[in-house]
Amino acid sequence: MPTVKRALLSVTDKSGLADFAKGLAALGCELISTGGTAKLLRDAGLAVKDVSEVTGFPEMLDGRVKTIHPIIAAGVLARRSVPEHMAALEKHGIGTIDMIVVNLYEFEKVAAKKDAPVEELIENIDIGGPTMIRAAAKNFQDVAVVTSAADYASILAELQASGGSLSKKTHWDLARKAYATTAKYDAAITARLASIEVEGEAFKDEPTPLPKVLNIHVAQKQALRYGENPHQGASLYACGDEGIANCTQIHGKELSYNNLVDLDAAWQLACEFSGPAVSIIKHTNPCGCAEQGRLVDAYLKAFEADTVSAFGGVIACNREVDADTAAEMAKLFVECVAAPAFSQQALSILTAKKNVRLVTVKGTVPEELVVKSITGGFLAQSADLLTIDKPAAKVVTQRQPSEAEWAALEFAWKVCKHVKSNAIVYARDGQLLSSGAGQMSRVFSAEIGARKSVLPLENCAVASDAFFPFPDGLEVVVKNGGTSVIQPGGSVRDADVIAAADRLGIAMVFTGLRHFRH
């Protein structure tokens, strides 16, 4: 690969640039730059040639025209191995440019402001930057294109080790990253401008919860051994720095596709609660969940609800795992444990189990789109972040819930949101007792949840993710110990169900919202 003798630097994010440029200069590289970037480099004591000096043409139109010039473009695009290209450069007195260091105007940062006027959005659409990036990437054989400050150190180290050149692999990797950068940039512009309409002579910004253009542009973070089954390929793609996709694994075997799916289900459920809470997930459904005053008590109550299903399950905690909790967890074979952190004592206990996967997770569940692929396209919806609004909930029975029943109903309703539909949840005192999940009939869910319970269901609260279409489902949960019920309401036979509740002497609350999870 050619030696980097001449580099053009023009960046918005100037972090780390001065040191990188000093390293280039120390290798004998001539530096060309523009505007604020040139000033930064001169202030750092570096010799810099302005682009206008190279092109013989001044920057103009408030900086809109700087690097867009045949002399710059030709110096980047000319193939060194093509004699006609090099002869054309010599004829016109144009020098080659061996490296482009460019990052783009921060359009996404401006677009994130809900009140950003159209004029500000347009002015923050970079033109010269993407042009230079794409030109350099097209001629990756001869030109290195650097779009991220995160690459400065490794590039400089390679240049220093090789006497000023980069390998073909590095050129190719940088080119691929460059195209990904411009693709993501264009996607952000497309998505934001899609919400702006022209009415008469005015612009009207109509941002909606769901984008008019769905752009899924996320980098691969990790190749997985396989998908749900060994014959399926799989990879993890991550954006931002929060959530399960960005968890940090601190112990255990490699995470699998199914591990990540279950970890996400467990983490989302644990994050529903403000007090210390533990969720235990098996095949995306909760087999245990509890919120208690101490994390260890939450774990023990979550575990005792279904000790059989908990074997080989996935656990999430919304607090740092302490030694007491870790000691109890260590008695059970589990696939994974997720938490914001682990104490040193907890780590020493859990890492004694060679295969258990331990991950730390930042943030709670973000407000983001839920996207699923279907044949021929995608479905997108906003995340189900609502829970019971007690003042807005409606008690529809003659008997009012007691304070203890209200607390149990609120807990059950949070858990119910995370059980696959049709969902019935039995709960009491901040503890999931049992659940019926994923049945075609709500009555079957109610019966299965009661039948598999190992804890007594007397005087428990019951949550149903959607309305009871007939009194029969309600009668099943009451027969098995339910004394208070929370459900959305909205059936054409609500009156019949309410009458049955009054006849059975229970308290029933309508929330007005449902929690289907397919």
- pLDDT one-digit tens code per residue, 148-205: 888 899 988 988 888 888 889 999 999 998 988 888 888 878 877 777 777 666 676 6
CA angle, residues 178, 179, 182, in degrees to nearest 5: 90
Instruction: Label residues 309-335 b or e (16+ Cβ within 10 Å = b).
Output: bbeebbbbbbbebbbbbbebbbebebb
Report helix angle 17-26 to 35-43, nearest 10.
70
CA angle, residues 74, 76, 82, in degrees to nearest 5: 75
Say whether 237-360 and 6-196 share the same fold: no
Q: What is the model's pLDDT at position 211? A: 76
Annotation says 138 is catalytic: yes
| CA dist., res. 296 & res. 322, Å (int) | 8
Q: What is the model's pLDDT at position 263? A: 96
Strand ranges in 397-481 using DSSP code E only, listed in sequence order: 424-428, 431-436, 460-464
Instruction: Indicate which residue of 85, 253, 283, 353 is catalytic.
Output: 283
Is residue 256 within 8 Å of residue 235, measured between CB atoms?
A: no
Domain boundaries, the chain: 6-196, 237-360, 394-510
Mean of all residue pLDDT scores within the chain:
89
Q: What is the model's pLDDT at position 209? A: 67
Angstrom CA distances, 388 to 277, 335, 409, 430, stand at: 18, 32, 9, 15
Q: Assign domain 6-196 to its CATH architecture.
A: 3-Layer(aba) Sandwich (3.40)
The pLDDT tens digits of the residues spanning 380-436 come to 888 888 877 777 889 999 999 999 999 999 999 999 999 999 999 999 999 999 999
pTM of the model: 0.78
Q: What is the model's pLDDT at position 410? A: 95
The pLDDT tens digits of the residues spanning 122-152 come to 877 878 888 889 889 999 888 989 998 888 9
Q: Which CB contacts under 8 angstroms, 24+ apart, belong to 42-50?
A: 44/18, 46/18, 46/21, 46/22
Q: Assign domain 237-360 to its CATH architecture.
A: 3-Layer(aba) Sandwich (3.40)
Q: Which residues in the chain land under pLDDT 50?
A: none
394-510 is a CATH 3.40.140.20 domain: yes
> What would the DSSP string read from start to end of 171-205?
HHHHHHHHHHHHHHHHHHHHHHHTTEEEETTEEEE
Annotation says 217 is catalytic: no
Q: What is the model's pLDDT at position 97? A: 87
Instruction: Indicate which residue of 138, 184, 217, 353 is catalytic.
Output: 138
Is residue 46 within 8 Å of residue 72, measured between CB atoms?
A: no
Q: What is the model's pLDDT at position 307? A: 94
Is residue 419 within 8 Å of residue 425, measured between CB atoms?
A: yes
